[in-house]
Structures are given as C-alpha cells and as structure tokens.
Structure 1
Amino acid sequence: MKRTVSLLLVAVLAFVVLSACSNSTENSNSTATNQSVSTPESVAKKDPIKMIIHLNGIDEDIKMKKAMEEIQTLDKYSHVAFEFHGREADFLTSVPISIAGGKQVDIIIVANPIIQQQWADAGTIVPLDDLIKETGVDFNQEFGPYVENASNNGQIFMVPHNITRWALYYNKSIFDKTGVPYPDDKIPMTWDQYRDVAKKLTSGSGADKTYGAFYLPWGTFWYGDAIMELGGGENFYNDQGLSNIENPAFARSMERLFNMMHIDESTPTHANTITSKTGATSFMNGQYGMDIQGGWVLPWAADKEKFPRDWKIGVAPMPVDSGDKMKTWGIVNGLAISPTSADPKLALEIGLDLSRLSAKYADSSESANRTVEQNELFKVFGESLAGDDIKVEQLEYIFTSPDAIFVGEKIMGANNVNYEKIITEEVEKYLVKQNDLKTTIANIKERGDKIIQAK
C-alpha cells in the first residue's frame, strides 16, 4: 500500500506544474430516485458514512446546486453525511496531492478531457468498469454517445455531467449597418464564408474600429476548424501515435486565422489581444460582428445590467469545414472516483444520482444524462432574450440537436498537456510573424514527436 501511494505521489507531482484551461467554465423527484442503482433494501438502516465531494465551482451552477440540495433529502442516503467542497484556488494540485497522500476523497469533478487523461494516467481517478457491472447500471442507456467522452485508455473513468457546445453569436446591428444578411438559423456557413463575411462587417480604424470577428488566444481559435474536419482532438496524433500536425487541415486552419488578422484585418491580432487583455466577455461591448464561443455566452446576453447593450444578439450554428450538416466542438465534464474513496460503489451511486438530478434541473446547458427529460432547458433564455427575437426552439436546435456532429475540442493522447504547450508556443510565433507557416509546422512536428515519446 505504501509503495502504491508513493508511486501515485510521484506521478501526481510530475503533473502538478501543469494545468489545462477550461472555458470556464454544465422530471420529478421520483424519476431520479426510481432510476437509481439502489434497491429497496438500500433504505434499510446502515452505518453512518461521510462522503467527501470536490466540485470546484460546478456547485455554483444552478442545476448542480439544486441536485446537491435534493440528494441530501433522499431516504436512500439518510446514513450519508455529505461534505461538499466548492471552488478551491489550488484545486488542480492540492486535491491530487491529498489523494496521493492517502486522504479520503470520494468524488472529484473532472473539468475537461486534458485533465481527465492526465488524472487517469496518474492514478488520481480510478476506472469504473467493474463498479458499473457490480451496480448493474446500463451506462450506454444512461449517457448514450457521451460514454466515449468518459473513457480513457479503453476504460470508463467518470460519470458524464455537463455538455459544453459552441455556437456562432453575432451582432445584428453591425449586420444591419453593412447590409449583410444574418447567418442562417439552421444551415451553417463554411469557414471560408465566415472569413468573407468578417471582411464585409469590418470598418473604421483605431479605437473606433469595428471588427468582423472576435478573437481569443485559445487553441480552438487556431486549430478548431481542423479538429472539426478531422473528427476530434485525438486526431492531433497520427496512426503511429506521433504528431499529426503535418495534416493539411492544421495548416489551413492556422493560415485562415493569420490572414484574417494580417491580410483582411477583420479580427484583432494575437499581439493586440494579449496586450489589451481581451477577455471572453469582451464580445459584449458591441465592437465585433461575430463570435464563436460556448453556451456560456447566453447568460451574459441575458444579463443586461452587467452587460448593457443597445444592440440585438443573434445565435446560429458554428461554421463548418464543408457541407450543410451542423457540426460543433466542445467538452463533456464529469464526476470521477478517487482511489481513496471510503466506499467506491456508494460514490458511483451518488455520482449517478447527481447526474440525474442535474439533468432534471438543467436550464442553461445540457446535461449528459439521457434518461431524464430536461424540460427546463433554455426556457429562461426564451424569456430574457425575447427582445433579441431568440426562441427556445432555436436554442434547442443549435445546442442539443442529435443530428449535429459533436467533436471533442481538446488534444487527447500521449503527453497531451506538454504537446498542447508546444503547439501554443509555436503557433503564437507564427501569429506574431516571428516564424512562417512552414517553419511553424516543422517545429511542432519535431518538438511534438519528442514530447509524445518522452517517458
């Protein structure tokens, strides 16, 4: 046991200096209870037990907040003392180190796929396959296609919780002034068309300039359309498990962004975005015609006290590489179990019920659970954004359509944290004109292959 903990501590310490971003920033009571993996005997008198659950901010989401409140009222958990931990400044280091040191941690939020792979490899979270079989829950029925997002190295490592999907947001006032038609509500434009529209929307100069497209220094802005074309973040690796950066899709994605910055001048430059400390909410200042971001923009648009505006916002499907089928990228976060859990089976049951209850209360982002009707989804925005002519049905189509192709936005594979860091470093040199595209691709390939193969 001491040797196992020591090995785990070494693995965790190897990762604590690394972190991954997460844009970040998710029926009746009888439905969730009846679908529980417990049996009638489970409500019989049981020995008291404490369950320690680290949610690191997910507890601030209204659907999780309500789920946490309700789960503590269920008879089946009357013997459980729930200890919920909220946002922690050093969460990505302190909690894994506590686990490596043998301290009890039962459930831990896994915010994005990079952390998921990192913690699965380090032993910070445990595979759930045997526990799932023991409880008899049908994971595929519960989570459908999102079981794949919960898996690493051929095993399931978490209970899927919240789905983040991206969309195209646009400033109707800027479109009206330039006479450019609004993006179609259902048929996506291509990335080439996105660039053309951005040029048409751009006007002015200096502090008064209106940009056709918004930009953030996030990886999805410079490689997103490539992974959309290729089918997800695992395609950063080729068939040999090495860097796939030489695939032409990556060059096209980077070059399009470079041209929008330096040729068309329809989006802010990378250097300007960094020096001006442009943040995700900056789109709400009315200076940009279009913006690609996740569903988290909807609450900003609805909050006109915090983000006052005199223009209407529109929402449309994400641009795509080709065709008229809707595609988007995003992440699925989830609840994982620690190797130091006091009762792993009970922890899994709690994770499943939190998932079901969260789905019941989902209002602004879709839950990954497929067995509970999410009747409240987007209703609040149908009311608060009625003045923008945005309807609930439109949001449901863009953010939950089962016909849309959903791809993972994060790099998934060996040494993905360090590999992404290399890509970021080299692409930034390209975007500020320090290196040309050919050199950038070559540098990523050379450095990427080395780090992917590093032990």
Structure 2
Amino acid sequence: MKSRILAVAGVIALASAALTGCSTGAAAGGDGDTLTFMFRGSDAEKAAYTAAIEQFEKDNDVTVKIIMTTADEYSTKLKAAITGKQIPDVFYVDPGSVQAYVKSGIIKDITEEVEASVDLDDVWQYGVDSYRFDGALMGQGPIYAMPKDVGPFSFGYNRTMFEAAGIPLPSVDEPYTWDEFIDVAKKLTLDTDGDGVLDQWGTGLNVQWNLQSFVWSNGGDWLNDDRTEVTVDSPEFAEALQFFADMQNVAQVTPSVTDAQTLDTYQRWMQGEIGFFPVGPWDVPTYETLDFDWDLIPYPVGSTGETSTWIGTLGIAVAESSKNADLATKLAIYLSTDETAQQSLVDAGVQVPNLKDMADTWVASATLPPANKQEFLDIVNEDGRALPANTTYSAEWYDELFKNIQPVLDGKQTAADYLSEVQPRMQELLDKANADAGIG
C-alpha cells in the first residue's frame, strides 16, 4: 500500500542534505523559447497533462518539454538535475521539501503572480497553505508552489460484505466510536467456508498511514503548536497507539502476521476479504473494477468525538533560475487552476478538482463510485491535516517513531513504554532539523 500512496499523495520528502549548497545560479532546463516541466505519475496523468499543455503552448507561443518519471525514480532524478545544474523550469515539489528548497534558493516566490491572477477563495486553502513558508513555519507567508492536487485519505467500507452479514450500513455523517468500530469489525471477521481458518477480516490497516487518524481523533499529536517539541509520549497518543495494536492482538479483527505475509491487506481488500480500508481519490479508477460495492465513511473517533485524517498533496513549483520565469510561473498557475487543465486531470480519474466550484459540480454529477464523494471534500474542508513530517525541515524525527514500533504491534511492548523510549530520540532529531532550518 505504501507505494501506491507515495505515487499520488505526494508525501516523499527529498533529503535536505542533497539540496544544501545548491546555488541560485543553477541553469534551468529550458531556454527562452522552451519550458521544461518535470513530474511523476501514471500514463493517464501524462495524457491529461499533454492535452492541457498543448493548449497552453498555443495560447502562449511556447514549447513545453514534458519530462515524466515513475514515482520511485522522481526523487533521484530531480536531485540529479539539481546537482547537475539542469533544474526544470517547472516541477513537482512536496510540502516536506519546501523549506530546504527555499533555504537553498531552488524555488521561486510566486506570491505576487498568484495573487494577481488567481481567485484564491475558489482554491482549496489547504492546498495553497501547504506551500507557504515565512522562514520559520510552514503554512503561512509567501507562496512557493501551487497545488497540483489535494489527496484526502478517506476511509472505505465493503458494502457487499455488510449486506451479506446483515449488518446495518454505517452512517456517512456520524462516525463510529472506537468501541462501535471494533464491535462491527468483529462481526465481519469470519470463517466463511467453514474450514476452521479465518478468510475474512474487519480491517487491516498500515500503522504508518493510519495511526494519524486515531491519534488526532483522541486529542493527541506529534508536535506542539510551534513545532519545537515532540509530544508522542502523551497519554492521548499512547491510548491511540495501544488501540491500534489491540485491533490485532486483542480484538483480532485484522489478518495475523502470517496471513499478511501470504497476502497483504491491500490485496485482500481488492479481493473482498477486508471490511474497512483506506481510500484516496487516486484509488477510484482502480476500484471501479472491484467485484463488490464500496463507499466512504468518516474515520472512527476517539475521545474528542471528532473524525480526522490526513491530506496528501503535491505542488507545482518554479525554478528560481528559470530563464523565462514569468512564463514558467504562468504554466504552474495554469496547471493548478485552469478549468480546462483541471478537467483533463479529473477526467483521468486521478484527483479531486483543485477549484471548489468544480469540486461541488463533480460531487453532484459524477456517476461512478464512490456514492459518498462528499467525504473527500469534507476532509479537505474540515477534517484533514498535513502529515506531521510535511511541516518540518526534515522527516527523520517522524520516521524514527516507526523504526522500532513492531514490538508494540506484536503485543510484546506497551505503547506507553515504547513512546517514552522513542520520544527523546525523536526530539533530538527534531532539534537538529530546526537547527538546520535556522529555527530555534
């Protein structure tokens, strides 16, 4: 599941060390009559961009050279372009890399051009704010990229499985409490063929991509407000992590470690063996071919009673060194906010529209699943947050949490004990990241 999320949600952070020392004198990929646009994605995205860019070329009498890579190759190839002083004029950037790019003079402040040409009230605020940086904190200040997309990480359920089990369908408005969720998940965990071996489970979640929802809805968080202190050792965080581990070890509503080795939970979901599973907009084209009906609901809620999840995003940035920075900036804004360009990407089935008006129309008029597309918009509008690592200079402190978490997931160590051990290591890495960023 990790690779499919990284491919679209934009949560890969380029190592800041690879950018340190890069000068603003690096030559951009194009010349005065040619722009280069580098991105990662699928063939469907390439086709959508090609169609959109053809119109841009006609309207602006310019040639745009498209450079596409796979998700796995993108980071390496972009770093090589930066090192070799062949930075594309326009390229994808993830929020976690913005601070390093700004510090190294790689990307251009495009605030003036954006504010002069874009109705920001009609663009998802989360998308724009993800690329703001005031020199100290992400989310405020000048704009250094425009959103390519917003990727609300929603929660899906197998409607066909519910109906077969005679369980009332979940509400699209009122989320399950944790206890209610476990109760339903137990009813869905079955030996359907009577051979004494489970072959259907309530859920099967990846800790790295699903823990956030449980922590946030329980009142916990990774950092304090000014992002200087790691707060994972709080009781609220420990309770959420323990609940996550107990889904396997106590409630036994997830595939066992052995089961997961035979077939991972994403594959089991695709085969109709999992009741609840995360869903992003990028999944929708693939899920059209599933042999069961499915839909979206809010994530289960902890002590706050408020559902929460994360939103992935990619940005479209402009190289500071572009030889035609004005036109490059125009291209970045066009790809992010032009209705025709957006429609090409939406038609390809890979994202939610960046424009709010388009998104409302999309929810009302689209006939393909999921029926409850409004859940995607609710996440972007109200319930979603940035991944914690995307708000700091580096992700090392965040990654540290997951390096040795397996004993907790296996029931061999309590969440509270583990978090007490790992918090100092995470704090040390966060202090280093903030020092590297000149914050502190």
Common fold by TM > 0.5: yes
Other structure's SS at 2:66 match? strand
Deviation of 1:106 (Å): 0.8
Structure 1 position 51, deviation (Å): 0.6
Q: Distance in 1 between matches of 2:305 and 2:382?
A: 11
Superposition pairs for residues 94-133 of structure 1, below 5 Å?
Answer: 94-110=77-93, 112-132=94-114
Give ranges in structure 2 of 5+ residues lacking alignment: 10-30
SS state at 2:55 partner: coil
Q: Note if 1:223 corresponds to 2:203.
A: no
**Pairwise CA RMSD of aligned residues?**
3.3
Letter in 1 for 2:67: H
Identify which of 377, 396, 401 aligns with 1:400. 377
Distance 1:449 1:403, change over 3 A: closer
SS in 1 for 2:405: helix
* Matched residue, 1:151: 132
Aligned to 1:71: 53
CA distance in 2, matches of 1:369, 1:448: 37
1:300 aligns with 2:286: yes
SS in 2 for 1:333: strand
Measure how far apart 1:353 and its partner are: 1.0
The correspondence for 1:140, drawn from 86, 111, 120, is 120
Q: Counterpart amino acid of 1:140?
A: L
Q: Structure 1 regions of 5+ residues with no counterpart?
A: 1-18, 27-46
Does the 8 Å contact 2:32/2:323 carry over to 1?
Answer: no
Residues 106, 239 of structure 1: CA spacing in aligned structure 2 closer, same or farther, 3 A cutoff? closer
Question: What SS is found at the alignment partner of 2:416?
Answer: helix
Q: Which amino acid aligns with 1:56?
A: R
- The secondary structure found in structure 1 opposite 2:320 is coil
State yes or no: 1:163 paired with 2:143.
no
Please name the residue that 1:411 is paired with.
389
Aligned partner letter, 2:33: I
How many pairs does the alignment contain?
A: 394
Alignment-derived partner of residue 437 in structure 1: 415
**C-alpha displacement of 1:378:** 8.0
409, 416, 425: which one pairs with 2:403? 425
Task: Give the Cα–Cα distance (whole angstroms) in 1 for the partners of residues 388 and 357 of structure 2.
Answer: 27
The 1:149/1:198 distance shift into structure 2, 3 A limit, reads same
- Select the residue among 25, 36, 39 that pairs with 2:8: 25
1:326 touches 1:404 (CA, 8 Å); kept in 2?
no
Native 8 Å contact 1:72 1:78 kept in 2: no
1:172 corresponds to 2:159? yes
Q: CA deviation at 1:193?
A: 2.3
d(CA) in 1 for partners of 2:154, 2:239: 21
SS class of match (1:176): helix
How big is each residue's C-alpha offset from its partner over 1:418-444, in whole Å with a ceiling of 9 and x where there is no partner? 112211113223213443323211122
Kindly indicate whether residue 39 of structure 2 is the aligned counterpart of residue 60 of structure 1: no
Kept after mapping to 2: 8 A contact 1:162/1:368 = yes
CA distance in 2 between counterparts of 1:252 and 1:350 reads 47
Match of 1:182 in 2: 169
Structure-2 separation of matches of 1:71 and 1:291: 36
Q: Aligned-pair distance for 1:85?
A: 1.0
Q: CA deviation at 1:265?
A: 0.6
Match of 1:214 in 2: 204
1:368-407 matched pairs, under 5 angstroms = 368-370=354-356, 375-376=361-362, 382-383=367-368, 385=369, 391=371, 394-395=372-373, 397-401=374-378, 404-407=382-385
2:160, 2:420 → 1: CA distance? Answer: 43
Offset at residue 148 of structure 1 (A): 1.4
Q: CA deviation at 1:404?
A: 3.6
**Counterpart residue identity of residue 226, structure 1:** V
Q: Distance in 1 between matches of 2:230 and 2:3?
A: 19
**Closer/same/farther in 2, CA of residues 103 and 226 from structure 1, 3 Å limit:** same
Mean CA deviation greater in 177-186 or 204-213: 204-213
Instruction: Report whether the alignment pairs 1:334 with 2:315.
Output: yes
- In structure 2, the residue matched to 1:350 is 331
Taking structure 1 as reference, are residues 297 and 93 closer, same or farther at Cα in structure 2, changes over 3 Å only? closer
**SS in structure 2 opposite 1:236?**
coil
